[in-house]
Amino acid sequence: MGTRSTMLQPTWRHQAACNGEAAEAFFPPGPVEAREDRLAREAVAKAICATCPVRGLCLEYALAVREPYGIWGGLNEYERRRLLPRKAG
C-alpha cells in the first residue's frame, strides 16, 4: 500500500489515463441503470484503466477510502468490496 499522504492527497491523479475522459464512463448516471447499460459503460472505463500508468495507486486509494461508487483502478464497487477484509461477527 502507498503512504498515508499518497492515500489522502492523491497526487498521482494528474497522471491517470482517465484524466480528461468523460466522467460518465466511470460513474453511474443515476440511482437506476439498466444492467446492459452498466456493463457497456464499465467496459469502456475498464479499457481506459487497462492503459493507466497509475492504476495500482488508484485502486489502493479507492480501497483505503472505501470509495462506494464508480470504476477505480479498473474495478467497480462490487469487485473492490470483494478485496476488502470481512468484518468479524
Instruction: Look at residues 25, 30, 10, 33 and name the one whose alpha carbon lies nearest to residue 74.
Output: 25
Burial of 51 (0-12, 13-18, 19+ CB in 10 A): exposed
DSSP state of 71: -
Q: What is the pLDDT of residues 26-85, one digit of tens each?
A: 999 888 999 999 999 999 999 999 999 999 999 999 999 999 999 999 999 999 999 988
pLDDT at site 8:
58
Cα–Cα distance, 66 to 71 (Å, whole number): 12
Report whether pLDDT(3) > 70: no
Report whether pLDDT(4) > 60: no
